[in-house]
Structure 1
Amino acid sequence: MTRLIVWRHGNTDWNATGRVQGQTDVPLNDLGRQQAVDAAELLVRLRPAAIVSSDLRRAADTAAALGALTGLSVRPDERLRERYFGPWQGLLMTEVAAQRPDEYARWTAGADVIGDDIETLDDMGKRMADAFADAAALAPGGTVVVATHGASARQGVLQLLGWPKEQIRTFRALQNCHWVELAHDESRGWQLAAYNVGPFTERPVPPPV
């Protein structure tokens, strides 16, 4: 059985403020870097045989935390980038809703096509599923970790499983530095084993001394 871990990157300042990142190359913030370390300490126990990452810094630096623990090099794959949001990128979601209300309405309704300059769900799902399959082929019978992005991760998982596109609306958003576990064998194909798994995002506050 091959195991594929689809891992969302750690937190960024744009995540924290609700700004649309898309394929803008936004770095991790201090919280995101700590989340990557905390998650890597759990993922290393799965004994990954290969690590593949989006080439955007927030995913690549998340993957590097696991690479440091395993000694594995991280293979970049630009197909694992986030959805391209065109003119939305850099805007707050509140600004998108105010400035581009028709596109925003289509997005909230889960439409495949939002606008001419925004990647469709179908195109994103296909490139992500292809990248996932190629990553899994690096270690048949082993564990492969793929560091990527929230929206693209969900759509790629849906496509890989062969589920109808309407099903995506039943998936909760992946939290930063949480992951999806998929398993594959020859008789059953791809199966969903776990979803939104990861470390606690907030550390407990120590009691006053």
Structure 2
Amino acid sequence: MTRLIVWRHGNTDWNAGNRVQGQTDTPLNELGVEQAAAASDMLAALKPDAIVSSDLQRAARTAAALAALTGLPVRTDARLRERHYGQWQGLTMHEVAARFPAEHARWRAGDQDPGCEVESLDDLGKRVGAALQAAADETPGGTTVVATHGGGARQGCGHLLGWSPEILRQLGSLQNCHWTELRYDTVRGWQLRAHNVGPAAREPIPAAI
């Protein structure tokens, strides 16, 4: 049975400040480095066969912590990047609400394409879902750990599972350095086996941005 561990990166200062990262290449902070190390201890016990990562440094640095324990190389895939947030990137969510009230309201209501050059959720799901499927296809019957981002992880997993946007809105956001586990078999296809698994958190759950 093929297994995918879809792993969100560790904490960054922008996570802590509720600032929209999107595809801005922000680094892990000290807490994020600690989280990556703690999560890697748990993930190494699953005996992964491969590691794939977003090319943004917060995900790549997270993946590197696991690579250091397992000796596995890390393959990067730009399709695993977070949702592109257009004009919102670099702003706090308070600033987004103040500058773009109509678009922010649509986003809060679950609009798939709120405007302001924000990538649509459908495009995000297809992009990340294709990268997840490619990662799984490289190691059939094995376990692949994929280091990515909160929003991308949810939409990409939803794409593989064939879930509607309404169902996906009910799935809680991944905490930093937590993961979703998917498994595939030829009879039932992709199945969700676990969600939001990881080391004990010592910070408030951040928005998946």
TM over 0.5: yes
Q: TM-score, normalised by structure 2?
A: 0.96
Which residue of structure 2 aligns with residue 48 of structure 1? 48
One-letter amino acid of the structure 2 residue matched with residue 153 of structure 1? A
Show CA shifts across 1:77-110 (max 9, x none).
0000000001100000000011101110111111
Tell me whether 1:186 sits opposite 2:199 in the alignment.
no
Displacement, 1:167?
A: 1.0
Which residue of structure 1 aligns with residue 111 of structure 2? 111
CA RMSD of aligned residues (A): 0.9
Which residue of structure 2 aligns with residue 136 of structure 1? 136
Tell me whether 1:196 sits opposite 2:196 in the alignment.
yes
Distance 2:116 2:79 in 1: 20
Runs of 4+ in 1 over 6 A off after TM superposition: none
Q: TM-score, normalised by structure 1?
A: 0.96
One-letter amino acid of the structure 2 residue matched with residue 170 of structure 1? Q
Show CA shifts across 1:125-160 (max 9, x none).
001110000000111111000000001110111111
- Structure 2 alignment gaps of length 5 or more: 204-209
Show CA shifts across 1:7-53 (max 9, x none).
00000000000000000000000000000000000000111000000
Distance 1:125 1:183 in 2: 18
Secondary structure of the residue that 2:37 maps to in structure 1? helix
Say whether the 8 Å CA contact 2:87–2:116 is kept in structure 1: no
Which residue of structure 2 aligns with residue 21 of structure 1? 21
- What is the number of residues matched between the two proteins? 203
Say whether the 8 Å CA contact 2:39–2:177 is kept in structure 1: yes
Q: Specify the structure having the higher radius of gyration (Cα).
A: 1
Which residue of structure 1 aligns with residue 207 of structure 2? none
Displacement, 1:116?
A: 4.9
- Structure 1 alignment gaps of length 5 or more: 204-209
Show CA shifts across 1:167-199 (max 9, x none).
111011110000000000101100000000000
Which residue of structure 2 aligns with residue 78 of structure 1? 78
* Identity value in percent: 64
Which residue of structure 2 aligns with residue 156 of structure 1? 156
Secondary structure of the residue that 2:6 maps to in structure 1? strand
Secondary structure of the residue that 2:169 maps to in structure 1? helix
Displacement, 1:165?
A: 1.4
Secondary structure of the residue that 2:64 maps to in structure 1? helix
